[in-house]
Chains A and B, each alone.
Chain A
Amino acid sequence: MTASIGRMWAIALNTFREAARIRVLYGILILVVGANLLAIVLGEMSISQSARVARDIGLAGISLFGALTAIYLGVALLYGEIQRRTIYAIISKPLARWEFVVGKYAGMALVLSALVGLFAGAMLALLGLQDVAITAAVGQAIALAWMEVLVVAATAVFFSSFSSPFLSGIFTLALWAIGRVTPELRAAASQSEAAWIRSTAKVALNIVPDLHLFSISGSAVDGSVVSVHGSFVSWGYVSVAAAHGALWIAALLVAACAIFRKRDFV
């Protein structure tokens, strides 16, 4: 077991090194800082709403750019190994294919966690400069956004284990978009008169990660509307959402490993 962890760590570390050299990520970081600066400007323009605007744009930046980065890394890093044929020299070592996939994902998760940390750091620094109160709700929202990013990365890795980067990117983007609006889709489907639409939607929504759980601000939880600007969810909710995310990550990685194990590298 220790040897297996050592091999996965070697792959994760190498993936981190690889991703740290991707210049696009630095561009995204600049964009996030820019979005936060824009939030300050917009906040100044809106009377007594500056704190709300700064928090909303800051958190939306983490969530949006985090998810886009997760899709980009998830799609590029695994497929890139096959495309550049670097995988031949690695898979021929005493390394199980599942160790490779999990190590690759762990490396991406490290990079994404570092990025979310930087995004959040930039947001919190700018909120501090504006004397906006940094509440526990902001911390909870960041934690939920971080979890969402990790689920999106696992989805991208899953698609990347059997399809091209373009298709993997499209599929993951579609699932991300659908996953974010699951309550609306569920409500729309339940109003349909056709039974087959209701049952198909029910099945479809069960095989899509419910990402709405991670962007809950403005929605109702247990009958009352929660908001990052006021009464937000409890840490208990964050833990349950994190467990839900962890299960999805595990399921997606198990599926990716099973597919990857059967792949021919020719």
Chain B
Amino acid sequence: MSSVIAVRDLAKTYRTPFRRKKVEALRGVSFTVERGEVFGFLGPNGAGKTTTIRCLMGLCAITGGSAEILGAPVPSRAARQRLGFLPEQPYFYDYLTVGELLDLGGRLFGLSRADRKRKADALIDRVGLGHARSQALKKFSKGMLQRAGLALALVNDPELIVLDEPMSGLDPIGRKEVRDLILEQRDAGRSVFFSSHILSDVESICDRVAICIGGIIKDVGRPRDLVDATPHGTEVLLRLADDAPVAVVEALSARAQTARRSPGQLLLTLPAGTDVDELVAFAREQDARLIAVTPRHETLEDVFLRRVEDAKP
């Protein structure tokens, strides 16, 4: 596979407007995005995700290291011709309709009038904005604007799609639509690079991820390679009568790391190495019935939170 994005020791330093204080937004970010993969760029707020993307898109100058997009050093107009970009919380000309916005985008890519019309019609339908075709963008909801932005990012049939927080502010249906659209682009042979902090979405659709904290990449790899495969404990779900004595609940809870009571049920989390058979036998003696025993594995969220915790001074 060849890289569509190659970032090496990328650094970005700002000066604050008045006091001219130095702020290191990126302190040596390195990763590659391979052709045809969906790559998730994770990080807490202020980690440097948006700054990295803005450097890649030529919106701000790099102060150290190097970055290439589609084989060309950043900033490259030739590379921008072949990529699509959705900014974070996109803002567009609010007096335009979505069709006019896509027409403007098409003009900037040098598309012919017929191509602009054909693509705009197809993309408006694809992102589900057919009903709002004649509506000015100022009347669009946040989710609709996000969809209009996605359509604009696809207007040139890009080889690489860069999305900055594409799921931000969307409801569950909107998020699923964006996930489906990303996977559809991958199936069409395109590469997708997107930033997010919605970890469940990232885990479910990304081939690889990078975790960026404090302007540095802490981890890069496939989600399943980043998490520890060995079980981290066991969850035991018991059925327990609502009128079960408090002493019984306390006795069971005392044997677990955490315990959560809900009507008719008790969920116990046991640390790795606990004798589950012994706990289940004890529970049965207390008239509790076993519903499920589930080994607990580390998730991407656990890795992410651990990395954030490790990075704290």
Contacts and interface: CB of A to CB of B under 8 A. Distances in A.
Contact of A264 (B59, B87, B91, B109): B59
B60 interface: yes
A10 B109 CA distance: 10
A172 B297 CA distance: 65
Interface stretch (B75-83, B239-247, B262-270, B271-279): B75-83
A95 B108 contact: yes
Given A89-B90, A266-B60, A95 B85 contact: no
B66 interface: no
B78 A94 contact: yes
Interface string A250-266: 00000000000010111
Nearest to B95: A21
Interface in A179-218: none
A93 B80 CA distance: 6
B128 to A, nearest CB: 20
Given A86-B93, A89-B149, A92-B85, A264 B108 contact: no
Given A3-B110, A10-B108, A266-B51, A92 B92 contact: no
Contacts of A88: 54, 57, 59, 87, 90-91
B124 interface: no
B166 interface: no
B170 interface: no
B109 to A, nearest CB: 7
Given A86-B92, A89-B149, A265 B108 contact: no
Contacts of B92: 86, 89
B249 interface: no
B108 A7 contact: yes
Interface residues of B, number: 30
A140 to B, nearest CB: 37
Given A85-B91, A88-B87, A266 B54 contact: yes
Contact of A94 (B60, B89, B108): B108
A10 B93 CA distance: 13
Interface string A91-113: 11111100000000000000000
Interface string A1-28: 0010011011000100110010000000
Given A88-B59, A264-B60, A266-B14, A93 B91 contact: no
Interface string B55-69: 001111100000000
B81 A17 contact: no
Contacts, number: 79
Contacts of A266: 14, 51, 54, 59-60
A262 B91 CA distance: 22
Residue among B60, B89, B108 with most chain A CB within 10 A: B108
Interface size class of A (residues with CB under 8 A): 20 to 34
A221 interface: no
A79 to B, nearest CB: 14
B190 to A, nearest CB: 17
A77 B108 CA distance: 19
B129 interface: no
Given A21-B95, A89-B90, A14 B104 contact: yes
A89 B85 contact: yes
Nearest to B88: A88
A14 B80 contact: no
B283 interface: no
B169 to A, nearest CB: 15
B60 A14 contact: no
B107 A84 contact: no
Contact of A18 (B54, B77, B85, B93): B93
A264 B92 CA distance: 19
Given A264-B59, A265-B60, A266-B54, A94 B85 contact: no
Nearest to A15: B93
A188 B152 CA distance: 58
A95 B59 CA distance: 12
Contact of B59 (A86, A94, A265): A265
B280 interface: no
A243 interface: no
A90 interface: yes
A85 B87 contact: yes
Interface in B86-114: 87, 89-93, 95-96, 100, 104-105, 107-110
Nearest to B15: A264
B54 A94 contact: no
Nearest to A87: B59
B124 to A, nearest CB: 17
A179 B105 CA distance: 39
Interface of A: 3, 6-7, 9-10, 14, 17-18, 21, 84-86, 88-96, 262, 264-266
Given A10-B107, A17-B93, A264-B61, 4 more contacts: A6-B110, A14-B104, A21-B95, A89-B87
14 contacts: A7-B108, A7-B110, A10-B108, A17-B100, A18-B93, A84-B91, A85-B91, A89-B90, A89-B92, A92-B58, A94-B78, A95-B80, A262-B61, A264-B14
Q: State the 10 A-B residue pairs at the shortest beta-carbon distance, nearest first.
A: A10-B107, A264-B60, A88-B87, A93-B108, A94-B81, A265-B59, A92-B57, A92-B85, A94-B80, A85-B91
